[in-house]
Amino acid sequence: MSLLDAKFLKQIARLQIRSEVVFRGKFKGERRSLNRGASVEFADYRTYELGDDLRHIDWNVYARLDRLFLKLFNAEEDLPIFILIDNSVSMNFGQPTKLECAKQVAAALSYIGLISFDRVSVYAFSDQLTPIAPSMYGKAQFPKLSQAIEGITGGGETHLTTCLQRFLAEIKGPGVGIIISDFWDIDGYETAIKGLLSRSFDLTLIHLLSDEEIHPQLSGELQLADAETGQAKEITVNEGALVSYVERLNAFCENLKRYCLNRGVTYIRMNQQTPIEQFILQDLRRSGFIH
């Protein structure tokens, strides 16, 4: 549990991941759905129709009105939460590294899900998809899940689309999908996002960049190498080059944000130096992703 301290866990213990989509789960959780069925809390009546379960007829109403009405209930259901952590080589950049930051975010969101009795699954992806923790349920599973997340190491190139296609092939139903990544993928992100949306995922992207990427402190004649492919290029870094770089970085971020917003995907950008307490308790709450 070294990823997060006990004080912070107490601060987030009453939070809940918000979802606009209702998913049917295995267990009864603390989340109210609009699914109407037999459960614990009365919601409303509707007229009886042929084939309805006779056990749900309110016979007291029938005795008064001589008409059959069915009692409806709010179902309590758990929310399937899938957290996907980019552990490609590029995530090892920064101090602390983007991967270390991503693991903290994943652990915090896992804790929020578990304490709300939602089902939490964690995967890592780079050039292959790696299951980190199977579907876990309940607060007692957090030490085991946190330890598994802490053990994630970086390596490999980013192949987001391939990994998410494998992910979709492994799981049975939709849920809340949370992708934590720098999204430095030469093949782009569009196909991967479309694939998840086609399976009715409620999707959130946490776009994680290091301060060194946002505000590079470079100058002079340099040879820069791609951390994942090893491809090198000699460049002259001057004021004009830095201005051009910042413009292209901002354009990349804005295009990703716009792509998400146009498709109902939540987009949240994070600087790797942002304290985990600020990101969860302020940034994510302000975005409406948790409440």
Token readout for 289 is 């992703």
Residue 241 to residue 156: CA distance in whole angstroms: 29
159-184 confidence digits (pLDDT tens):
999 999 999 999 988 899 999 999 99
**Cα 273 vs. chain centroid, distance in angstroms?**
20
CB-based burial, 119-137: b 16+ in 10 Å, e otherwise: bbbbbbbbeebeebbebbb
Q: What is the pLDDT of residue 227?
A: 85
pLDDT of residue 78 exceeding 70: no
What is the percent of the chain with per-residue pLDDT over 70, rounded to a whole number? 88
96-131 confidence digits (pLDDT tens):
999 999 999 999 999 999 998 899 999 999 999 999
Q: At what angle do helices 142-150 and 98-115 cross, to 10 degrees?
A: 170
Place of tokens 């780079």: 126
Across 2-6, 68-72, 262-266, least confident range: 68-72
203-214 confidence digits (pLDDT tens):
999 999 999 999
What is the arithmetic mean of pLDDT over 139-161? Answer: 95
